[in-house]
């Protein structure tokens, strides 16, 4: 990666061209899916155990959700590019 979400044009180690990767909206979708499936049950558990004020619960879990999403997004984008490379998709030819 070059920056937060910008994929390098080529690998600095092996010179594999990466400019033709097509991650598009996949990483964002999977990031939201994973964080929601983790934090949704935790929010329910926290509400049932401690009964916090709804504003406190909403703000605290929103901050946790944003932090978790920002952490996972570049890693999942790298995983999508790696999957495309492994499956020889979108210009990652064997030759």
For the stretch 27-40, pLDDT in tens is: 999 999 999 999 99
Q: Which residue has the higher pLDDT, 58 or 18?
A: 58
What's residue 40's pLDDT? Answer: 97
In three state form, how does the secondary structure of the chain look? CCCCCCCCCECCCCCCECCCCCCCCHHHHHHHHHHHHHHHHHHHHHHHHHCCCHHHHHHHHHHHHHHHHHHHHHHHHHHHHHHHHHCCCCCCCCC
Cα–Cα distance for residue pair 1/45, rounded to 1 Å = 37
Report the mean per-residue pLDDT for the chain: 93
pLDDT given at position 91: 81
In this structure, of 48-52, 74-78, 81-85, the range with the lowest mean pLDDT score is: 81-85
| pTM across the whole model | 0.88
CA distance 24 to 83: 13
Closest CA to 21 of 75, 69, 86: 86
**Of residues 24 and 94, more confidently modeled:** 24
């Amino acid at each position: 990666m070059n920056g937060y979400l910008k994929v390098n044009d080529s690998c600095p180690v092996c010179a594999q061209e990466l400019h033709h990767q097509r991650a598009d909206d996949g990483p964002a979708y999977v990031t939201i899916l994973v964080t929601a499936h983790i934090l949704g049950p935790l929010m329910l558990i926290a509400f049932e155990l401690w009964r916090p004020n709804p504003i406190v619960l909403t703000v605290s879990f929103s901050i946790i959700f944003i932090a978790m999403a920002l952490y996972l997004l570049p890693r999942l984008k790298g995983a999508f590019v790696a999957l495309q490379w492994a499956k020889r998709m979108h210009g990652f030819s064997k030759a």
